[in-house]
Amino acid sequence: MSAEMQVFLLPDLGEGLTEAELVNWLVAVGDEIRVDQPIAEVETAKSMVEVPSPYAGIVAVLHGEAGQTLDVGKPLISVAPVGAVVESGPAEEAAPAEVVSEAPAASAAAEAYRTEEKAGSGNVLIGYGTSGGGEARRTRPRKASGSAVAVASAPDFELSLSRTRVPGKLSAVISPLVRKMARDHGVSLDAVPGSGESGLILRRDVEALIGSVPRETAPAEVPALKALAVAEPAAGIQDSRTGLPVASRTPVRGVRKAVAANMTRSRSEIPEATVWVDVDATALLEMRAELKKRDPHGAPGLLAFIARFVTAGLKKFPELNTRIVTAEDAAGGEMQEIIAFDGINLGFAAQTDRGLVVPSVRNAHLLSARELDAEIRRLTAVARDGKATPTELASGTFTLNNYGVFGVDGSAAIINYPEVAMLGVGRIIDKPWVVDGQLAVRKVTELTLAFDHRVCDGETAAGFLRYVADAIENPGTVLADL
């Protein structure tokens, strides 16, 4: 029986995501890999993950370059059987990796994968295959990622993946990256002579014409990037609306893209209202200072105490720990339902190098202030490392946002959709405060609650906010009652 090259399709990385950005290859063409060995780092809209291979063998093709966005269900890597001779060639001597087309078997597998994903099959990254024994061996020196390759097969070796070009004018450009580059730079593909096989238009052909074609640049357009750059220089391009030169163009992708979509949906769907109150936090700071004297390394942080008060407040005002969903009524029409939860997953906003993320402490209502502190620190660390799981980033029922660390007092926060409320905590500063009829200097902070007016009225929101404020002003009494 002949052996076939095995094509690994990019899997659903969790939570129904449909695309991921290739950050870095962990293997190269010619490497021998084992089952479950990490082969690439990819960034989704939720986290950075390592993708393991379900196949063992020799790396034959890397289907993509660092910085490229790949669709779920499309080829990620091709693996040849051990013993096959795999040789790297110049990347532009053959059609680049992104123009590889699937043979019927691979195409059918990709289509089946997409069908299952739409049906919510649960096909996710975790759990393919069994671990292969032994260490990975490299059979050739490491080459640049994205190289085209030539595979010399043994007599019984068959390829299930071939490089083809469908006849017709449009098929002169197969790569979506090349199409996008031409569109973003105003280059007409009809006028581009293809230097690839059978007249295939390659990236270099479009790049040769960029700069010679005048175009008007809309601020929202983003050119294709070759690597993970924060911004791409845009020398010589003028903005059509302002007439000013464009200094750089930054693609909206990954976490930033997800945040933008989530915030836009929150603003468009949620009738948001906001209430706020100034709070005397002097007693809370004094209590924590005393605990720190007793246990310098184990005293919970202020955010953990506030988180404890929040979970207690949500038990008294559960309307703020809900979610609104659209359901079908008996007549087949649409109706809205308020879903209440038996428990609290407390999210907290964390600023990272990749953007704003909201990991959540699961079952926070069961944890003490000390336990909350430990979990908040752990989740902050994994979020900043880009290692938080989709479950950790997408399971919150209420969000606590400590924007005081940025030196501001308040904020008109946007609710973290699909939650219905968010509590913000401002900086703690010295302010004049009346205590027992006398003016004194106290440690004061501002609490701001943004809430969905569909789930409750102002009385409920104010009651919750006042409860948390009273707990901060009298922490010993409240903690004793918890």
**pLDDT-above-70 percentage for the chain:** 71
Examine the domain organization and report whether 238 and 350 are in the same domain.
no
Contact 73, 110 (CB under 8 A): yes
Among 45-59, 285-299, 356-370, where is mean pLDDT lowest? 45-59
Burial 282-297, CB ≥16 within 10 A → b, else e: bbbbebbeebeeeeee
Q: What pLDDT, in 10s, does the model give residues 188-206?
A: 776 677 777 656 677 777 7
H/E/C letters for each residue in the chain? CCEECEEEECCCCCCCCCEEEEEEECCCCCEEECCCCEEEEEECCCCEEEEECCCCEEEEEECCCCCCEEECCCEEEEEECCCCEEEECCCCCCCCHHHCEECHHHHHHHHHHHHHHHCCCCCCCCCCCCCCCCCCCECCCCCCCCCCEEEECCCCEECCEECCCCCCCHHHCCCHHHHHHHHHCCCCHHHCCCCCHHHCCCHHHHHHHCCCCCCCECCCCCCCCCCCCCCEECCCCEECCCCCECCEECCCCHHHHHHHHHHHHHHHHCCEEEEEEEEECHHHHHHHHHHHHHCCCCCCCHHHHHHHHHHHHHHHCHHHCEEEEEEECCCCCEEEEEEECCCCCEEECEEECCEEECCEECCHHHCCHHHHHHHHHHHHHHHHCCCCCHHHHCCCCEEEECHHHHCCCCCCCCCCCCCCEEEEECCCEEEEEEECCEEEEEEEEEEEEEEECCCCCHHHHHHHHHHHHHHHHCHHHHHHHC
Q: Are residues 37 and 121 in the same domain?
A: yes
pLDDT at residue number 180:
64
Query: Of 213, 236, 252, which residue constitutes the final position of a domain?
Result: 252
CATH number of the domain at 469, please.
3.30.559.10
Q: According to the model, what pLDDT value does residue 110 have?
A: 43
- pLDDT greater at residue 282 or residue 132: 282
- 199 or 328, which is more confident? 328
Q: How much is the pLDDT for 333?
A: 82
Q: Domain boundary at 252, 275, 297, which?
A: 252
Residue 405 Cα distances to 178, 308, 334, 465, angstroms: 44, 19, 43, 20
What's residue 197's pLDDT? Answer: 60
pLDDT at 313: 97
List Cβ neighbours of 37 (8 Å cut-off, separation of 6 or more).
27, 52, 53, 132, 136
Residue 235: per-residue pLDDT: 61
Q: Do 59 and 9 lie in a common domain?
A: yes
Residues 89 and 147 sit within 8 Å (Cβ to Cβ): yes
The CATH code of the domain that includes 245 is: 4.10.320.10
Q: With bands split at pLDDT 50, 70 and 90, how would you rate the model's confidence at 73?
A: confident
* Residue that is written with structure tokens 């502190």 in the block: 373
The pLDDT of residue 263 is: 87
Could you tell me whether strands 3-4 and 157-158 are parallel, antiparallel, or unpaired per DSSP bridges?
parallel
What's the mean pLDDT in 276-296? 94
Q: What is the average pLDDT across 258-262? A: 82
Tokens of 340: 């209440």
If asked whether residues 242 and 297 sit together in one domain, one would say no
User: Domain check: are 245 and 137 in the same one?
Assistant: no
Residue 325: both structure tokens together: 């969903």
Structure tokens of 369? 């202030």
Does residue 29 surpass a pLDDT of 60? yes
pLDDT bin (cut points 50, 70, 90) of residue 304 is: very high
Between CA 399 and CA 391 the distance in angstroms is 15
Mean pLDDT of 321-336: 86
Q: Is the pLDDT of residue 401 over 60?
A: yes
pLDDT, residue 212, reads: 55
Do 422 and 321 share a structural domain?
Answer: yes
Domain boundary pick from 162, 187, 215: 162
Query: What confidence score (pLDDT) does residue 105 get?
Result: 46
Question: In this predicted structure, what is the pLDDT of residue 133?
Answer: 39
Instruction: Tell me whether residue 63 is one of the annotated catalytic residues.
Output: no
Between these two residues, 327 and 407, which has the higher pLDDT value?
407
Is the pLDDT reported for residue 229 higher than 80?
no
pLDDT of residue 10: 87
Q: Which pLDDT band holds residue 96 (cuts at 50, 70, 90)?
A: very low
Q: Which of 63, 185, 297, 453 is catalytic?
A: 453
> Model confidence over 451-473: pLDDT tens digits?
999 999 999 999 999 999 999 99
Which structural domain range is residue 463 located in? 256-481
Q: Label residue 280 by pLDDT band (50, 70, 90).
A: very high
Over range 334-363, report the average pLDDT. 91
Average pLDDT over residues 122-136: 38
In this predicted structure, what is the pLDDT of residue 369?
A: 94
Return the pLDDT at 473. Answer: 96
Pairwise CA distance, residues 173 & 95, whole Å: 11
Predicted confidence band at 318 (pLDDT cuts at 50, 70, 90)? very high
Same domain, 285 and 413: yes
Residues 118 and 197 in one domain: no
Angle CA 76–171–175, to nearest 5: 35
Per residue in 416-442, pLDDT (tens digit) is 999 999 999 999 999 999 999 999 999
* Residue 127, pLDDT above cutoff 70: no
Longest distance between any two alpha carbons in the chain, whole Å? 96
**Does 29 share its domain with 118?**
yes
What average pLDDT does range 130-157 have in this prediction? Answer: 39
Instruction: Answer with the residue of higher pLDDT: 101 or 34.
Output: 34
Decide: 417 and 265 in contact? Cβ < 8 Å.
yes
pLDDT(234) > 90: no
Query: Within this chain, do residues 364 and 415 fall inside the same structural domain, yes or no?
Result: yes
414 shares a domain with 323: yes
Q: How many domains does the chain have?
A: 3
Name the pLDDT band for 157 (thresholds 50, 70, 90). very low
When mean pLDDT is compared over 23-27, 114-118, 174-178, 283-287, the highest value belongs to 283-287
Whether 270 shows a pLDDT value over 80: the answer reads: yes
Nearest to 197 by CA among 171, 178, 179, 176: 171
Could you give the percent of the chain with pLDDT greater than 90? 41
206 and 131 within one domain = no
pLDDT score at 43: 78
pTM exceeds cut of 0.75: no
Identify which has the larger pLDDT, 83 or 10. Answer: 10
At residue 152, does pLDDT exceed 70? no
Average pLDDT, the chain: 76
In this structure, of 112-126, 192-206, 389-403, the range with the lowest mean pLDDT score is: 112-126
Low-confidence winner among 129-133, 243-247, 305-309, 342-346 (lowest mean pLDDT)? 129-133
284 vs 334, which has greater pLDDT? 284
